[in-house]
């Protein structure tokens, strides 16, 4: 099966599962789709005991799709641009300091706490695992996933200020998390002694700084083009070109593509909407990207569910995964509480607000994609499996109960 046929099949399957969710389960779209895809995966695995050649064919094609590259190199740019496009930058400005602190300091605290605690627990739960691999897991699991967060927060009934904080943090901390992940990945592959501190600083400045500047540049160029015409079909096409071109351009300079798309989306969705678009164009662009967001989300969460077919999950991995869930939730609270105390955000973020932000800090496809990008000798099977377990719990359990937690604490 070639790539086009496989992609067509995934879209068709996503549409059918979306219909079944609306007709039967009536759950929030992303959660319902993933549950149905999980059930389908279980059926496939059970059928594999009767017809092993069938499951081999499915596993081969899912592996061929390469979920990690498909999400990180293609889908992520579309999803982040669409999410940022619909985000009010004035609301973000009001909480910009906490967002920056949570997305940087909070992510670093979480990375080292998760990695260190698991390093101490692994000999009792499974077997000793090198500290650098534990830190790799901490780096990929610490950022909250903007895709999962944005899709579920819409229906959770959270106070506007808290929703803005969670949304803003999730839009930016994935870029920071990827930089931290790449740093530890290079440590693991080359050895810490071969990497100088200046290289880490260069990576940070190049990835983060370059991504922010590229997003501003692309946003400004497209803004000027939008302002010079009034033809909504062409203007929609220009925004599509921005995302596709930017997604290709960023890796060439080793810039952070996700951060570039967030900045460009905020620029076009705010300044562009106010100064460069007619009412008709604004309406079409927002509806177009709303549809892109829905379609990409459907595909993504169906793929997350289907990944069960190829992810190796053993009994020992399940034990580690379940304990990791509790550990990650606890660390998430600490990584919010500590910066709140140090930077004096306590007046804005009460204990109950931090609990809501903790429970609303969902993990999703980005964590799985980063785990799948690991090399075999980096405890890949173990890390992929426990990441998958954490993500399933995060999206299904935390996602379904978030509104109840909000109601209880507000």
For the chain, how far is it from start to end, CA to CA, in angstroms? 52
Whether 49 maps to a domain, the answer reads no
Residue 47: inside a domain: no
Please report the DSSP string for 163-197 in residue order: HHHHHHHHHHHHHHHHHHHHHHHHHHHH-GGG--H
Taking each helix axis from N to C terminus, what angle separates 76-85 and 146-153, rounded to the nearest 10 degrees? 40
The answer to whether residue 139 is domain-embedded is yes
Contacts of 183 (CB under 8 A, 6+ apart): 139, 200, 203
Report how far residue 57's alpha carbon sits from residue 342's, in angstroms, rounded to the nearest whole number: 54
DSSP state of 50: T
Tokens, residue 204: 């940070």
Report if residue 93 sits inside a domain. Answer: yes
Say which DSSP state 256 is in: -
CA distance 300 to 147: 9
Contact predicate 67/300, CB 8 Å: no
- Percent of the chain at pLDDT exceeding 70: 97
Note whether residue 229 is domain-resident.
yes
E strand segments, 76-127: none
Interatomic CA distance for residues 167 and 179, integer angstroms: 20
Backbone φ and ψ for 175, nearest 5 degrees, come out as -65, -45
How far apart (Å, rounded) are the C-alpha atoms in residues 348 and 358? 15
Q: Quick one: tokens of 295?
A: 């379609």
Positive or negative, the Cα torsion across 24, 28, 34, 38?
Answer: negative
Q: Are 36 and 17 in contact (CB under 8 A)?
A: yes
* Residue ranges, the chain, pLDDT below 50: none
Q: Could you identify the residue written with the tokens 């080793």?
A: 254
Q: For residue 362, is it within any domain?
A: yes
Q: What is the pTM of this model?
A: 0.90
Instruction: Report the residue count for the chain.
Output: 410
- Is 24 within the bounds of a domain? no
With CA atoms as reference, report the closest residue to 179 among 196, 201, 194, 198.
Answer: 201
How high is the pLDDT of residue 194? 59
Longest dimension (CA), the chain: 65
* Residue in the structure block whose two tokens are 């169906």: 302
Helices (H) and strands (E) in the chain, counts: 22, 0
**Residue 21 counted as domain residue:** no
- The answer to whether the beta carbons of residues 16 and 282 sit under 8 Å apart is no
pLDDT tens, 213-264? 999 999 999 999 999 999 999 999 999 999 999 999 999 998 989 889 999 9
- Report the CATH number that the domain containing residue 151 is assigned in CATH: 1.20.1530.20
- Total domains in the chain come to 1
Domain that holds residue 185: 65-409
């Amino acid at each position: 099966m070639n790539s086009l046929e496989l992609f067509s099949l995934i879209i068709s399957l996503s549409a059918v599962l979306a219909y079944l969710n609306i007709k039967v389960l009536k759950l929030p779209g992303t959660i319902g789709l993933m549950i149905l895809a999980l059930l389908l995966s279980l059926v496939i695995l059970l059928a594999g005991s009767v017809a092993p050649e069938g499951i081999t064919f499915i596993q081969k094609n899912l592996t061929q799709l390469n979920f990690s590259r498909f999400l990180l190199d293609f889908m992520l740019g579309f999803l982040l641009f669409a999410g940022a496009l619909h985000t009010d930058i004035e609301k973000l400005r009001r909480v910009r300091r906490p967002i920056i602190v949570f997305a940087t300091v909070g992510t670093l605290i979480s990375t080292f706490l998760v990695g260190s605690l698991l390093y101490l627990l692994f000999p009792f739960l499974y077997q000793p695992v090198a500290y650098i691999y534990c830190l790799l897991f901490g780096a990929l699991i610490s950022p909250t996933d903007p895709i999962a967060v944005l899709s579920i927060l819409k229906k959770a009934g959270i106070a506007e200020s808290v929703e803005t904080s969670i949304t803003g943090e999730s839009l930016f901390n994935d870029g920071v998390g990827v930089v931290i992940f790449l740093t530890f990945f290079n440590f693991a592959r080359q050895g810490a002694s071969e990497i100088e501190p200046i290289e880490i600083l260069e990576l940070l400045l190049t990835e983060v700084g370059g991504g922010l500047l590229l997003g501003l540049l692309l946003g400004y160029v497209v803004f000027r083009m939008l302002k010079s015409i009034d033809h909504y079909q062409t203007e929609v096409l220009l925004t599509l070109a921005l995302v596709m071109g930017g997604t290709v351009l960023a890796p060439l300079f080793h810039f952070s593509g996700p951060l570039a798309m967030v900045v460009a989306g905020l620029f076009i969705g705010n300044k562009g909407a106010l100064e460069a678009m007619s009412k008709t164009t604004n309406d079409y662009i927002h509806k177009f990207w709303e549809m892109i967001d829905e379609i990409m989300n459907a595909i993504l969460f169906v793929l997350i569910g289907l990944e069960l077919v190829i992810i190796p999950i053993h009994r020992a991995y399940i034990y580690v995964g379940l304990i990791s869930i509790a550990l990650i939730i606890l660390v998430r609270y600490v990584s919010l509480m500590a910066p709140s105390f140090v930077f004096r955000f306590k007046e804005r973020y009460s204990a109950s607000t931090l609990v809501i932000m903790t429970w609303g800090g969902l993990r999703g496809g980005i964590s799985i994609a980063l785990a799948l990008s690991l090399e075999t000798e980096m405890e890949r099977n173990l890390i992929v499996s426990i990441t998958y377990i954490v993500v399933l719990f995060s999206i299904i359990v935390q996602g379904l109960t978030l509104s109840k937690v909000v109601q209880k604490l507000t």
